[in-house]
Amino acid sequence: MSRPYHLTIAEAGTNLRDGAITSAALTEAYLDRIATIDRELNCFITLLAEEAREAALEADREIAAGRWKGPLHGVPIGLKDIYATAGVRTTCHSHLLENNVPTEDAETVARLKAAGAIIIGKLATHEFAFGGPSFDLPWPPARNPWNPDHVPAGSSSGSGAAVSAGLCAGAMGSDTGGSIRSPAGVCGIAGFKPTYGLLSRRGIYPLSWTQDHAGPMARTVEDCALMMQALAGYDPLDPGSVETAVPDFVGALGRSVRGLRIGLVRSWHEGVADAEVCDAIEQAAGLLRQEGAEVRDVTLPDIADFHACGRIIILSEAWTIHRDAVTATPEKYGEFFRNRVRLGASLNADHYIEAQRMRRRLTAETMAAMEDCDILLAANQYGPAERFEDSQRPFPFFSKPYLTMPFNITGQPALTVPAGFGVNGLPFGIQFAGRPFEDDVVLQVGHTYEHARGDFDFRPPV
Amino acid sequence: MTASDEVLSVEEFRVRAAQAGLVLEEGEVDVMYEGYLGLQGLLARLPQGSAFADEPASVFMASATRVAR
Average pLDDT in the A150-170 region? 98
Searching chain A, which residue's CA lies closest to the CA of residue B64? A436
Searching chain B, which residue's CA lies closest to the CA of residue A260? B69
pLDDT, tens digit, 9 for 90 and up, residues A318-342? 999 999 999 999 999 999 999 999 9
- Per the CB < 8 A criterion, the answer to whether A380 and A428 are in contact is yes
pLDDT, tens digit, 9 for 90 and up, residues A79-118? 999 999 999 999 999 999 999 999 999 999 999 999 999 9
C-alpha torsion A417→A43→A195→A452, nearest 10: 10
Judged by a CB distance cut-off of 8 A, whether residue B6 touches chain A is no
Query: Per the domain annotation, does B59 fall within a domain?
Result: no
pLDDT value, residue A455:
73
Give the DSSP letter of residue A227: H
pTM score: 0.96
pLDDT, tens digit, 9 for 90 and up, residues B52-68? 777 655 545 555 444 44
d(CA A80, CA A30): 17
pLDDT, tens digit, 9 for 90 and up, residues A280-327? 999 999 999 999 999 999 999 999 999 999 999 999 999 999 999 999
Judged by a CB distance cut-off of 8 A, whether residue B29 touches chain A is no
pLDDT, tens digit, 9 for 90 and up, residues A164-205? 999 999 999 999 999 999 999 999 999 999 999 999 999 999
Query: Per the domain annotation, does B60 fall within a domain?
Result: no
Using a pLDDT cut of 90, give the percent of chain A over it: 97
Residue A213, helix vs strand vs coil: strand
Query: In this complex, do B34 and A305 lie within 8 Å of one another by their Cβ atoms?
Result: no
- Per the CB < 8 A criterion, the answer to whether A375 and A434 are in contact is yes
Does residue A375 have a pLDDT over 70? yes
Query: In this complex, do A356 and B58 lie within 8 Å of one another by their Cβ atoms?
Result: yes
CA distances from A277 to A120, A271, A418 (A): 34, 11, 11
The crossing angle, in degrees rounded to 10, of helices A221-231 and A9-17 is 70
Best residue of B31, B32, B34, B40 to probe chain A, by most A CBs closer than 10 Å: B32
pLDDT value, residue B2:
46
* β-pairing verdict for A294-297 and A118-123: unpaired
pLDDT band at residue A225 under the 50/70/90 scheme: very high
Closest Cα of chain B to A94: distance in Å? Answer: 20
In chain B, the number of structural domains is 1
Closest Cα of chain B to A356: distance in Å? Answer: 5
How many CB pairs (< 8 A) connect A and B? 126
Which residue, A195, A124, A187, A136, is CA-closest to A412? A195
Share the mean pLDDT of chain A.
97
C-alpha torsion A369→A245→A380→A280, nearest 10: -80
Query: In this complex, do B46 and A411 lie within 8 Å of one another by their Cβ atoms?
Result: no
- Per the CB < 8 A criterion, the answer to whether A107 and A235 are in contact is yes
Query: In this complex, do B60 and A370 lie within 8 Å of one another by their Cβ atoms?
Result: no
Rg over CA atoms, chain B: 18
Closest Cα of chain A to B21: distance in Å? Answer: 6
Q: Out of B35, B41, B63, name the one closest to residue A343 (CB).
A: B35
Judged by a CB distance cut-off of 8 A, whether residue B68 touches chain A is no
Closest Cα of chain B to A85: distance in Å? Answer: 27
Searching chain A, which residue's CA lies closest to the CA of residue B38? A398
The dihedral built from the CA positions of residue B17, B22, B24 and B30, taken in this order, carries a sign that is negative
Searching chain A, which residue's CA lies closest to the CA of residue B25? A330
A275-296 burial, b at 16+ Cβ within 10 Å, e below that, comes to: ebbbebbebbbebbeebebbbe
pLDDT value, residue A144:
98
Query: Per the domain annotation, does B58 fall within a domain?
Result: no
* Active-site residue, A164 included: no
pLDDT value, residue A454:
87
Which residues of chain B make contact with A304, given a CB cutoff of 8 A?
Answer: 45
Query: Per the domain annotation, does B28 fall within a domain?
Result: yes
pLDDT value, residue B63:
53
- Per the CB < 8 A criterion, the answer to whether A292 and A402 are in contact is no
Searching chain A, which residue's CA lies closest to the CA of residue B59? A210
d(CA B63, CA A92): 30
* Active-site residue, A200 included: no
Does residue B19 have a pLDDT over 80? yes
Searching chain A, which residue's CA lies closest to the CA of residue B2? A350
Query: In this complex, do B32 and A343 lie within 8 Å of one another by their Cβ atoms?
Result: yes
Judged by a CB distance cut-off of 8 A, whether residue B39 touches chain A is yes
Query: In this complex, do A346 and B16 lie within 8 Å of one another by their Cβ atoms?
Result: yes
Range of the domain at B20: 1-49
Closest Cα of chain A to B18: distance in Å? Answer: 10
d(CA A364, CA A267): 18
Query: Per the domain annotation, does B66 fall within a domain?
Result: no
What are the start-end ranges of the E strands in A124-271? 170-175, 190-193, 213-218, 261-264
A208 vs A1, residue with greater confidence: A208
Residue A395: phi and psi, rounded to 5, are: -130, 80
d(CA A365, CA A295): 20
Judged by a CB distance cut-off of 8 A, whether residue B49 touches chain A is no
CA distances from A426 to A134, A186, A230, A386, A459 (A): 22, 7, 31, 10, 11
HSE of A210 in the Cβ direction (CA atoms, 13 Å)? Answer: 24
Write down the catalytic residue from A23, A157, A159, A179: A179
Query: Per the domain annotation, does B43 fall within a domain?
Result: yes
pLDDT band at residue A242 under the 50/70/90 scheme: very high
Closest Cα of chain A to B17: distance in Å? Answer: 7
Q: Out of A309, A354, A367, name the one closest to residue B50 (CB).
A: A354
Query: In this complex, do A351 and B21 lie within 8 Å of one another by their Cβ atoms?
Result: no
Which residues of chain B make contact with A410, given a CB cutoff of 8 A?
Answer: 62, 65
pLDDT value, residue B68:
40
d(CA A257, CA A243): 28
Write down the catalytic residue from A94, A155, A159, A316: A155
Could you give the residue ranges of the DSSP H alpha helices within A291-433? 303-328, 335-342, 349-369, 406-410
Query: In this complex, do A435 and B45 lie within 8 Å of one another by their Cβ atoms?
Result: no
> C-alpha angle with apex B61: A341 to A227, nearest 5 degrees?
80
Q: If you write DSSP's letter for every residue of A68-121 in order, what string do you get? A: ---TTTT-EEEEETTB-BTTB---TTSGGGTT---SS--HHHHHHHHTT-EEEE
Domains in chain A (CATH in brackets) are 4-453 (3.90.1300.10)
pLDDT band at residue B50 under the 50/70/90 scheme: confident
d(CA A373, CA A156): 30
* Active-site residue, A122 included: no
Q: Out of B17, B35, B67, name the one closest to residue A395 (CB).
A: B35
Q: If you write DSSP's letter for every residue of A180-191 in order, what string do you get? A: THHHHHHHTSEE
